[in-house]
Amino acid sequence: MSFNHSNSNNGQMSEEKKPEYWAARIAPCNADGFRLQRTSYFNNSKSSPDTSINRQGMAMTNSRQSPTCRWSVTKPCPVPLFGLDNKAVLVHDSAPIVSSRIDQSLRLRSVQAQFDNVLGEASCETSSSVQYIIGLFAGPEGSTYVEVRKMRGCVLAFRGERDAVINAARGLGGKQTERPSAPKLSIPKELMSLYVPPSMSELEDTLERASDQFHSRNRHTMLFALQNLVSMTNANKVYTETAHNMSKLIMQNKSDIRDMLVTIYISEAHNVRDNLSMQICNAVLQILINGIFALSNSVKNDGFLDGECKYFVEQLVPCLVESVGKCHFAHNTCLALNCLCLLTKKSSIACAKAREMDAGNIIQQAELYGKREHLELEEAARSTLFLLQSEIVSR
């Protein structure tokens, strides 16, 4: 048997098969290299009135930047090869100026944000749980592309947020663009006279169903029940008498609903697992605020919290003070401060408990945090601290 092969066969055996596709390493494009043509892709903005142009053509701001600027993008990333959102705009100012303007606008509008100076991104969340990301990218001749991408939440609310961010980036202020509002249709008096609000027994049935839903293993079911009670205790969303009666039933602990609300809040506030925990705490605080506010409007209920809700106050106040100290979520911290403010105003027990926990120093730290991050938190902390100090002196 012969094992000799021809030279051609040897060449075929030794020749390595070339793959059909090859991998390629793509380097990011710089400002002077390849750039996608975007003639009508972006909305160009004019230079803002408070800027001047230097010899190199860079836009420099005349106003002094804040020394506590949280977001300062010095080297924005180039525009990615896949492009930007079609709502992105080109601002004829440098990235440090644009980022500083947006940073100040977010704080004044009390939008919680986390910043990445390297990637040029800001992750934002509003009090209505609208989440979006602001991205800054290098534009031609020192300008900056601004892109705002929605992650979750209401589309209409996001549109207002995007307008505010773009206006701030252009140096036009951080307010949302006024849009023509839809005409409000009033209900005829003939139909209003036919309306019959829910009876007390029907409201009690609603609380019993909510109590059953609170025991569900599905936390989304619990959140749905809480959000329903938020609406039913808000006089701006339901009939005024219905909101007052529902708030009264909750504070009277019908179906043990008040104690369950405190238990849910303590459990979720001590073990913040995810965004759902934040929403649950937010809903509970709104319900309690509506209930305490309904009691505070009546002179007959001045001693109700100290007399009928002693255990409720003793359990809730320490958790509120602890939540203010942790400040996991600025929007919930504002609600916790508002709730604490109402309690100390109507309850001597709450005032003594807050003094025992040295709540004044904790609230002062929250005020300092609000001065840097969140205007609404700063104002809530200042008003709560003033009320707490005045109540302690008067008592």
The pLDDT value given to residue 355: 87
Return the residue matching tokens 């003793």.
Answer: 314
Q: Which of 162, 192, 58, 44 is nearest to 102 (CA)?
A: 162
112-116 sheet: strands from edge to edge: 43-44, 89-91, 144-152, 131-138, 121-125, 112-116
Average the pLDDT over 97-103 and give the result: 95
pLDDT band at 158 (very low <50, low <70, confident <90, very high): very high
146 strand-pairing partners: 89, 136
Do 139 and 108 meet the contact criterion of CB atoms below 8 Å apart? no
Return the residue matching tokens 């592309």.
Answer: 145
Which of 113-117, 298-302, 350-354, 383-387 is modeled with the greatest confidence? 113-117
Tell me how far apart the alpha carbons of residues 238 and 82 are, in angstroms, rounded to a whole number.
Answer: 48
Tell me how far apart the alpha carbons of residues 132 and 337 are, in angstroms, rounded to a whole number.
Answer: 26
Residues 6+ apart with CB under 8 A from 258: 250, 251, 252, 291, 309, 312
Do 92 and 84 meet the contact criterion of CB atoms below 8 Å apart? no
- The pair of structure tokens assigned to 355 is 């003094």
The pLDDT value given to residue 194: 87
- The pair of structure tokens assigned to 115 is 């910043």
Which of 24-33, 103-112, 345-354 is modeled with the greatest confidence? 103-112
Do 90 and 41 meet the contact criterion of CB atoms below 8 Å apart? no
Q: Is the pLDDT of residue 249 over 60?
A: yes
Residue type for position 2: S
Return the residue matching tokens 């602890």.
Answer: 322
pLDDT band at 307 (very low <50, low <70, confident <90, very high): confident
pLDDT for 328-364, tens place per residue?
889 999 999 999 999 988 888 888 888 888 888 999 9
Mean pLDDT of the chain: 81
Tell me how far apart the alpha carbons of residues 61 and 288 are, in angstroms, rounded to a whole number.
Answer: 46
Q: Is the pLDDT of residue 51 over 60?
A: no
pTM surpassing 0.85? no
